[in-house]
């Protein structure tokens, strides 16, 4: 039930827990804003500052109950579900050192259903894998009046550009359906070494996800992988480099990076699949990040049906590198 300030009772409850106050077991009823969300993600969203390991422990032990019964961490909530939430505390260090809100993220578009932001490079979209604070956590701190904020899709940490965040569960569900069905146009700009010659080239190479012996996530082209489709268009070419636009027809992990590396055109600055010697040389020339930017999004609004199209210009550090190429290397049309 929302309070007079727009913050629901569950959020007030967990804020009190973080302040170290003893609170009895609470029961909450799920409404439209949380329906369809996994129980583990729901608890981590409202229990800000509580370690993930503790959230999973109380789920495994059965201390969290839905409609009186135990549930798996993958259980998806439904409208009307009654959740039993046990009291939890966070460590003193977490209580006294909340994550900093950071610089406000650039908002390209906002309405009652969704946000579109221009994500800077170097910022993860969410916490995890050694990163405690990402875009979604920052937005939730900076916009406490919003009852729900969930990522509609993801961008790699070093990728900049357009990112959609849903403000309603109904909008999130439709956005996910659109992405699964290929009904959203997503185009990226990237710089690759060498001379890309085809004006338009379709790349259809299945991608397989695996873990390295060190536990890092990687992707490679493999017949055992999932079908993947990228459309690469030449934008500009110099003596040593080519600027290309890549349209994603599927949304696999690291798709652009792996498809282009597989063809012999690794992304400039890519620290996983790139040319590491070239990357080091490019750093000396001023390119200190991966050159990959989510430049264009076009999709049907999930609730109104209106066609929305957004474009984000290259960030200054990438545009400046292009400007230096233009100044010292003639364009190559041959």
Under 8 Å CB-to-CB from 255, ≥6 apart: which residues? 207, 219, 228, 230, 248
CA-based nearest residue to 285, from 241, 232, 219: 241
Under 8 Å CB-to-CB from 323, ≥6 apart: which residues? none
Q: Which of 81, 118, 156, 275 is catalytic?
A: 156
CB atoms closer than 10 angstroms to residue 4: 5
DSSP 282-314: HHHTT--S--EEEEEEEEE-TTT--EEEEE-PP
- Angle 52-61/39-46 helices, nearest 10 degrees? 130
Instruction: Check if 156 is active-site.
Output: yes
Answer whether 260's CB lies under 8 Å from 237's CB: no
Residues annotated as part of the active site: 156
């Amino acid at each position: 039930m929302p309070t007079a300030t727009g913050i629901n009772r569950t959020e007030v409850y967990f804020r009190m827990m973080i302040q170290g106050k003893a609170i009895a077991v609470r029961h909450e009823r799920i409404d439209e804003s949380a329906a369809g969300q996994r129980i583990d993600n729901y608890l981590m969203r409202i229990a800000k500052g509580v370690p993930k390991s503790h959230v999973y422990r109380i789920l495994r032990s059965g201390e969290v109950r839905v409609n009186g019964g135990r549930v798996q961490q993958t259980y998806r909530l439904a409208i009307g579900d009654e959740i039993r939430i046990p009291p939890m505390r966070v460590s003193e260090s977490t209580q006294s050192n909340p994550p900093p809100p950071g610089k406000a993220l650039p908002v390209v578009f906002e309405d009652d259903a969704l946000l579109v932001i221009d994500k800077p490079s170097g910022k993860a979209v969410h916490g995890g894998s050694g990163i405690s604070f990402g875009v979604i956590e920052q937005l939730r701190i900076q916009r406490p009046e919003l009852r729900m904020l969930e990522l509609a899709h993801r961008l790699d940490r070093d990728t900049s550009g357009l990112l959609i965040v849903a403000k309603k569960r109904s909008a999130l569900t439709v956005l996910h359906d659109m992405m699964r069905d290929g009904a959203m146009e997503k185009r990226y700009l990237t710089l690759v070494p060498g001379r890309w010659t085809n004006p338009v080239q379709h790349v259809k190479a299945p991608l397989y996800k695996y873990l390295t012996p060190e536990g890092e996530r990687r992707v490679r082209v493999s017949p055992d992988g999932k079908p993947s489709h990228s459309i690469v268009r030449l934008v500009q070419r110099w003596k040593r480099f080519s600027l290309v636009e890549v349209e994603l027809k599927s949304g696999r992990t690291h798709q652009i990076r792996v498809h282009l590396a597989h063809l012999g055109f690794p992304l400039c600055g890519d620290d996983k699949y790139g040319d590491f010697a070239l990357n080091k040389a490019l750093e000396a020339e001023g390119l200190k990040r991966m050159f990959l930017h989510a430049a264009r999004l076009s999709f049907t609004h999930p609730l109104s049906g209106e066609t929305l199209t957004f474009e984000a210009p290259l960030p200054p550090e990438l545009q400046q590198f292009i400007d230096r190429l233009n100044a010292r290397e003639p364009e190559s049309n041959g």
